[in-house]
Structure 1
């Protein structure tokens, strides 16, 4: 039970992120400034890890450096920028739920870049996940088709939000594949994490210098809010997650992880008055069910493969 508690606690910290990120946007701070300061905080806090694993960084080849840069520069920086900016146009709960498309993106990209085989079960569960996403956005799809060539500003804003959400999904899904590649190369998880934040900052600093108009002075209260957000979801959340992962089987972890979108929906509804429509609730159920089924099948195949190797 302790392991499940740690996983659920991690999911709770990730869900609480919105209670800080969304109000910061409401205070007029730009997406770029929020994500920049978030990464700066995380780089400062993980600086000891960067120093501790410096030999691993020095030993990386060009391809591994490219993978690490993609994880941080595209996954962490661009992905988080798109995710945060999408809050301007969509219900944050919807943005969070649509991130459940990531396993589909990760598996497809892994088949291309890591030559991993796509099994028949993937098509079935991926179809359920995609169906869930379509159900969630169905009212907007229906409105777009009914309006023909006449598109209102409201519908354009919604589709801009969906586009940003899709960018985040692809960026984070691809970062997962790159992270898996570095893990196969025996790079330590803490080295990948600290390198991710550093590479993200490397991309964000030039963007900030090119768009200085989007930066403004932060008073003590919003600055403390931002630092708390970075430490809560960026560090504490991952620490809780790995503590749980070390205590319970992966199958149980998969189920416990599904409390994240549930926590997010409840928290956003209670504290931000952002409820979901029936279409969005039904779509969310299909998304979560597809993710659980897909992950359980992957774990089952992994166990079978391990058992065959043991017998051999």
Structure 2
């Protein structure tokens, strides 16, 4: 999921293509959306042992190196496509790679490590579900889109749900709970920036080229994260298998399946299928990783999941979306 939906600069971009493709009568693949989302939910299971042994910067670096090696055959054509872009689009691609991929993943990994030290492996994962709400707000700032009043019907419950989820006692905050929540929200905000900028450059780049460029510049950014944080470049051999699994399963494999499914799945159904992510993350957190959530946190999880789903279904089915402008961002 770190490379994919959090990645996520590309997922919503492709969703637009998915809607148009589905209108051409392709077979609905909501089940495949759910499979890819469930793979994202495995992130915590694979990340926990790595976060215990490795610095966040090291994990982030290899989460980028491994997929870009797999995508190396597509790198020359992606670079040629990048050279043909205008200055604005080039800058957007660089921000997607360095900011929305490398820095965002580093923030998320750090949040996961801190929260995990207190036994909560669910909150950083599920707070990512706020990304569509943040993307809509950022579309107003970056793309000049205008909000309808009903956007508050999505934003307010989502923020309330995030608050309840992030803190064991939402009325009494502690620094130990506040830091990972802010880091996770920072990561979600950067992934939302990637979504909006991805929309900006999507007319000029294919999804494959955008994914390859994102991982390529993300690798450069990840080396920067390693340099700034002083994290070691090379992991221990004992962590190599875990890094490969993390980069390729909830990373590249999930993203590839998601792209394929969106070619024939309406966005409204895709949003429902994506609920497999928080459900899987919660189940793994409770049953495998030993996380115990308070009743208020379970309530917050449900509010976030339901709000984002309702927003996605509503915005996909109406011609008068919550956002007015050149592009309507949907969950």
Band the TM-score falls in, shorter-chain normalisation:
0.7 to 0.9
List per-residue Cα deviations over 1:166-204 (Å, max 9, x = no partner).
210111111110111111x33111111111111111122
Distance in 1 (alpha carbons) for counterparts of 2:37 and 2:220 = 28
Is the CA contact (8 Å cut-off) linking 1:75 and 1:175 kept in structure 2?
yes
Q: In terms of Rg, which structure is larger?
A: 1
Q: 1:36 aligns with which of 42, 57, 61?
A: 61
Superposed counterparts of 1:110-121, under 5 Å: 110-121=139-150
Identify the structure with the greater helix proportion. Answer: 1
Equivalent residue number for residue 184 of structure 2: 165
Question: 1:140: Cα distance to partner?
Answer: 4.3
Is the CA contact (8 Å cut-off) linking 2:160 and 2:300 kept in structure 1?
yes
Equivalent residue number for residue 244 of structure 2: 227
List per-residue Cα deviations over 1:40-71 (Å, max 9, x = no partner).
11211111122233331110111111111111
Matched, 1:176 2:195: yes
Matched, 1:301 2:301: no
Matched, 1:135 2:152: no
Distance in 2 (alpha carbons) for counterparts of 1:103 and 1:132 = 14
Q: 2:71 aligns with which of 46, 62, 66?
A: 46
Go from structure 1 to structure 2 and tell me whether the alpha carbon gap of 1:276 and 1:72 turns closer, same or farther (over 3 Å shift): same
Q: Provide TM-score, normalisation by structure 2.
A: 0.83
Equivalent residue number for residue 204 of structure 1: 222
Matched, 1:292 2:315: no
Question: 1:81: Cα distance to partner?
Answer: 0.3
* Alignment gaps of 5+ in structure 1: 145-154, 305-312
Distance in 2 (alpha carbons) for counterparts of 1:193 and 1:176 = 12
Distance in 2 (alpha carbons) for counterparts of 1:8 and 1:14 = 10
Q: 1:156 aligns with which of 159, 175, 180?
A: 175
Distance in 2 (alpha carbons) for counterparts of 1:165 and 1:210 = 19
Equivalent residue number for residue 238 of structure 1: 255
Superposed counterparts of 1:66-77, under 5 Å: 66-77=91-102
Equivalent residue number for residue 283 of structure 2: 266
Is the CA contact (8 Å cut-off) linking 1:126 and 1:294 kept in structure 2?
no
Distance in 1 (alpha carbons) for counterparts of 2:106 and 2:155 = 26
* Alignment gaps of 5+ in structure 2: 1-26, 322-331
Q: Provide TM-score, normalisation by structure 1.
A: 0.88
Equivalent residue number for residue 147 of structure 1: none
Matched, 1:19 2:45: yes
Count of matched residue positions in the alignment of Structure 1 and Structure 2: 291
Is the CA contact (8 Å cut-off) linking 1:29 and 1:216 kept in structure 2?
no
Q: In structure 1, the residue corresponding to 2:235 is in which secondary structure? A: coil
Q: In structure 1, the residue corresponding to 2:147 is in which secondary structure? A: coil
Supply the RMSD in Å over aligned alpha carbons.
1.9
List per-residue Cα deviations over 1:273-304 (Å, max 9, x = no partner).
11322111100111111101111221123499
List per-residue Cα deviations over 1:130-184 (Å, max 9, x = no partner).
121122235444223xxxxxxxxxx22221111211210111111110111111x
Distance in 2 (alpha carbons) for counterparts of 1:210 and 1:2 = 45
Is the CA contact (8 Å cut-off) linking 2:93 and 2:197 kept in structure 1?
yes
Go from structure 1 to structure 2 and tell me whether the alpha carbon gap of 1:72 and 1:217 turns closer, same or farther (over 3 Å shift): closer
Q: In structure 2, the residue corresponding to 1:92 is in which secondary structure? A: coil
Equivalent residue number for residue 16 of structure 2: none
List per-residue Cα deviations over 1:65-114 (Å, max 9, x = no partner).
11111111111011000001001222221111111211121111101111
Distance in 2 (alpha carbons) for counterparts of 1:237 and 1:43 = 15
Matched, 1:195 2:213: yes
Q: Tell me whether 261-270 or 245-254 shows the greater mean CA deviation.
A: 245-254
Is the CA contact (8 Å cut-off) linking 1:265 and 1:275 kept in structure 2?
no
Is the CA contact (8 Å cut-off) linking 2:101 and 2:218 kept in structure 1?
yes
